[in-house]
Structure formats: C-alpha cells, structure tokens
Amino acid sequence: MPLPASLIASIVSAIIESASQSAAVDPAQYDTYVTQRTLPPEAKQGVMFPPPGNGTVVINGQSLVLSPVAQFRNQKNLIVMPMGIQEKKEVVYITDASKAVFRVWMISSAENSALKQN
C-alpha cells in the first residue's frame, strides 16, 4: 500500500525542521572556542592593513611578502580570503624560513589583552 503524499510531506518537513534546529549554533559557543584557541608562542603581534593584492601585506607600517601558501584566519578561526579583509585588524602572524608571512590570525580584543599580559 503506497503512502499518502501528505504523510510523506509531513515526514520530510519534520526531518528538515529537526536538522535546521540542530544546526543552529549559539554565538556564545564561538566566543568560548575563540578564547580557547592556542596561538603559536613565536607569533609576532601587530596591526595589519587590508592586503593590497600584490603579494604583500602591511603589518605595523612595514610591507612584508606573503608566502605562496599564506593562510588568514578570522576571530572565529575560520579561513578567510585576504581580499575579503577591508579594514585594519589586530593580528598575530608567523613567517616561514624565507621571512615571508606564512600564517595570520586576526585576534579579538580579549585575545589582544591576554597576549599583552604575557
């Protein structure tokens, strides 16, 4: 015996609603995670201006070369594209063996305060 279309629609609707409710994440969970992320102890701290798009980045007024595999992470520790950064940011960064900027973490004010205390 085939199932009525209304029953199938009801089941699908319940599944979608359940999935969307479990996917909703409390923004406070991100704040907790971000304050717990570990930044490398050798990282340097500075203020980064929006990358100009020519393979360099300006940190603390100094133009630095970007590594070909440079990675930028936002305050939520998500990878972001350099061209998506449109304003100056407090950052910590590390360089590779050739002194090119290899990793950049944009930090929150709480992380900035914690780093200054250390």
Domain ranges across the chain: 32-117
**Considering the domain 32-117 in this protein, what is its CATH number?**
2.40.50
pLDDT digits (tens, 9 = 90+) for 29-76: 655 555 567 888 889 999 999 988 888 999 999 999 999 999 999 988
Dihedral-angle region of residue 21 (phi above 0 means left; psi in -120 to 50 means alpha; beta otherwise) = alpha
pLDDT digits (tens, 9 = 90+) for 11-40: 777 777 777 665 555 666 655 555 567 888
Pairing of strands 101-106, 89-95: antiparallel
**Cα angle: 79, vertex 70, 101; to 5 degrees:** 125
pLDDT digits (tens, 9 = 90+) for 76-92: 889 999 889 999 999 99
**Single pTM value for the model:** 0.68
